[in-house]
Amino acid sequence: MKSWRELNSYKKMQVFLAEKSGFCFGVKRAVRLAIQASKMAKQVYTIGPLIHNPQYVEYLQKQGIFPIQSVNDVESGVVVLRSHGVSPDTYIQAKKKGLEVVDATCPNVKRVQALARELKGEGYQVVIVGERRHPEVRSIANDLQDDVLIIGEVDDLRGDGLSKRIGVIAQTTQDLGCFRDICHQLLGLVREMKVYNTICKASYERQVSTIKLAQKTDLLLIVGGRNSANTSRLFRIASKINPNTYHIESKKDIDTSWLSGKERVGISSGASTPSFIIEDIVEYLRGIEPY
């Protein structure tokens, strides 16, 4: 119980917040850099939403920071490269167009990109455990001219296309259990395997905190954008432990019938969930009469 912060004890319902949740270091850094840029320049753009949270993207737009699809969409201004990273092509293209580039790629992602290059340089086939379409995975794959194998889950593994010497890395927000299972399976399929556990500390801590909450509460709310990979992953991990787990973006998504008879309500969130949304939910729960 020490590792949790008790937020509320309202009649029979208690609300607990995951010890580690909300904005991670990489997201805080990206937001800080983007806001700094918006104070210096009139036109500030991010390639894709700066973070996968619609409410926060709306807030950023009010600060003059607008998401675009690609550098082709603008002719001037500042382009902020978000924490997920981009392919070197995007960077070069932005520079060629004369755009000012603020690189907010998380240092953890840069490390994974560098390790992938290193593994390829050593002659390993690079295997990325992660989501094929996630921008971070795309940035690594593009950097290696798509000469990589991407595995999302154990069921994707049939041994097709695998070399005898592989170098394995993980998307920084990967589920440790899934990464471990895939590495275990891969071991039986190759002759040589070099593994870097590139799951970042922030993701790992959020997974552990969420698992603890799922075990100790009778209702768990996972808060974050539906387009947030790390929030969706926390939801999947928690649902396996606690079937009364719901993924919500804000208090508007809470169905009060979920609270019926519940005494211990947990709140966890992904690395891209702003604290004002969590505070809003806590306030809302405080005002609810349990029944």
Residues 111-170 that bind ligand SF4 (CB under 6 A): none
Contact with ligand SF4 (CB under 6 A): which of 4, 8, 19, 25?
25
The number of residues that bind ligand SF4 (CB under 6 A) is 14
Which one, 109 or 285, has the nearer CB to ligand SF4?
109
Stretch that binds ligand SF4, among 23-31, 121-129, 140-148, 283-291 (CB under 6 A): 23-31
- Our finding on whether 24 is near ligand SF4 (CB under 6 A) is yes
Q: Which of 136, 205, 263, 283 is an active site residue?
A: 136
Contact with ligand SF4 (CB under 6 A): which of 79, 102, 186, 271?
271
Contact with ligand SF4 (CB under 6 A): which of 17, 21, 26, 49?
26
Return the structure tokens found at 178: 């899934």
Stretch that binds ligand SF4, among 1-9, 105-113, 137-145, 276-284 (CB under 6 A): 105-113
Tell the smallest beta-carbon distance from residue 224 to ligand SF4 (Å): 12
Tell the smallest beta-carbon distance from residue 195 to ligand SF4 (Å): 18
Asked if 218 and 276 touch (Cβ cutoff 8 Å), the reply is no
Stretch that binds ligand SF4, among 6-14, 101-109, 158-166, 210-218 (CB under 6 A): 101-109
Which one, 125 or 203, has the nearer CB to ligand SF4?
203
DSSP letter string, the chain: -TTSEEEEEETTEEEEE-SS-S--HHHHHHHHHHHHHHHH-S-EEEES-SSS-HHHHHHHHHTTEEEESSGGG-SSSEEEEPTT---HHHHHHHHHTT-EEEE---HHHHHHHHHHHHHHHTTPEEEEES-TTSHHHHHHHHHTTT-EEEE-SGGG-S-TT--SEEEEEE-TT--HHHHHHHHHHHHTT-SEEEE-----HHHHHHHHHHHHHHHH-SEEEEES-TT-HHHHHHHHHHHHH-SSEEEESSGGG--GGGGTT--EEEEEE-TT--HHHHHHHHHHHHT----
Instruction: Write the CB contacts of 18 (distance below 8 Å, at least 6 apart in sequence).
Output: 4, 206, 209, 210, 212, 213, 266, 267, 268, 269
Residues 190-209 that bind ligand SF4 (CB under 6 A): 200, 202-203
- Our finding on whether 83 is near ligand SF4 (CB under 6 A) is yes
Q: Tell me, yes or no, if 136 is annotated catalytic.
A: yes
Tell the smallest beta-carbon distance from residue 107 to ligand SF4 (Å): 7
Residues 35-64 that bind ligand SF4 (CB under 6 A): none
Please give the residue ranges that form the binding site for ligand SF4 (CB under 6 A).
24-27, 83, 106, 108-109, 172-173, 200, 202-203, 271
Q: Which residues are catalytic?
A: 136
